Amino acid sequence: ILPLSSGRKVSEVLDSTRSAKFEKNSGRKAAVSVNSTIAIAFALRIATTLHSRGSRISLHQLKALRINSQDALISGDHVLRLASSETLGRLASLSGTNFLTSQVKMLVDQVVNNRDPYARAGCALAFGSIYTHVGGIAAGPLLKTTINVLMSLGNDPHPVVHFWVLSALAQVVNAASLAYAPFVSSTLGMLFNIYLLKTHEPDGGTVTNTNIKGNYPVYQVVCQLIDAVVAVLGPDIKESARTRNLVLNLVHEFATELDEGICVEAIKCIQHLLMFTPDHVDISDLVNQLRAHLASPRRPLKLLDIV
């Protein structure tokens, strides 16, 4: 329906969700905002399928949807941020180069000028979504800008920011694939520094930040990012002893963590390393670790060992 609707009709529908009558009922206003944002994201999922890829969104539709998504992108609600970032990414895939360039510029300006952690987290998600949905070829010229912004935000002490930033960077690595190879060294260096930062530790940082870190397991995302980097390197990881040792040391440290979520992601990395550099993985130590997990009462660890 979306590609067939006029820009005016789309604008009218979106304007109705921001009606002044909702100001008297904050709960209803929040519900309408969430429902409309998610509905738009779902509509664009259909619009970007192979079946309807030939349908192009008009300039009026694009403007109306972008304004709505940009407002939701800096929301304190993570559901709105996720849905709006997906919307912007899919809009970028349906539109031309001008929209893509202007959107990236807007995100960069927002990151520089807006210190709100939720706004920065939303912008990071949008960077990851845009690159993922547009594709490595079309978004190739923006890869360096995207990586520089995300790596800079990765050092932000607020858990909401660095968690979603690293999640977005993992998206970019997976989408870029071999095109990400020139940035592998700097990414691993950043991850090593993050591991040493007290602000990024599960119990580190200010009291306020520590209280919300339970919802943002950053070390799990770091392991996922390392795994994505290993996939980019592939068999070439055997050629560089420095890179290989840095990856192995980081994964080993995470594998010894008490948190089961971190252990699960670290073992997934080890499984990947076994494919490309089996001679440098301590098999006996890994087997002992897996046997200990099989005897553990924790279901995630058992399932991982079985798989």
Q: State the pLDDT at residue 58.
A: 64
Q: Is residue 77 a contact partner of residue 34, using CB atoms and an 8 Å limit? A: yes
Per-residue b/e over 115-142, b at no fewer than 16 CB within 10 Å? Answer: eebbbbbbbbbbbbbbbbbbebeebeeb
Asked if 109 contacts 127 with a C-beta cutoff of 8 angstroms, the reply is no
pLDDT at position 81, please? 92
- What's the pLDDT score for residue 4? 46
pLDDT at 51: 45
pLDDT at 306: 66
**pLDDT score for 212:** 77
What pLDDT, on the 0 to 100 scale, is given for residue 150?
94
Residue of 152, 144, 92 lying closest to 124 (CA atoms): 152
How far apart CA 280 and CA 293 sit, in angstroms, is 22
Cα separations (Å) of 158 from 26, 153, 204, 216, 224? 27, 10, 11, 10, 20
**Whole-number Å distance between alpha carbons of 10 and 68:** 11
| 279 membership: H or E segment, kind and range | none
Q: From first to last of its 307 residues, what are the pLDDT tens digits of the chain?
A: 454 454 455 666 666 666 666 677 778 777 878 888 888 888 888 777 754 555 556 666 777 778 778 888 888 888 899 999 999 998 888 887 888 888 889 999 999 898 899 999 999 999 999 999 887 777 788 899 999 999 999 998 899 999 999 999 999 999 998 899 999 999 999 999 998 888 888 777 677 777 777 788 899 999 999 999 999 999 888 888 899 999 999 998 898 888 888 888 988 888 888 888 888 888 888 788 777 777 777 777 777 666 5
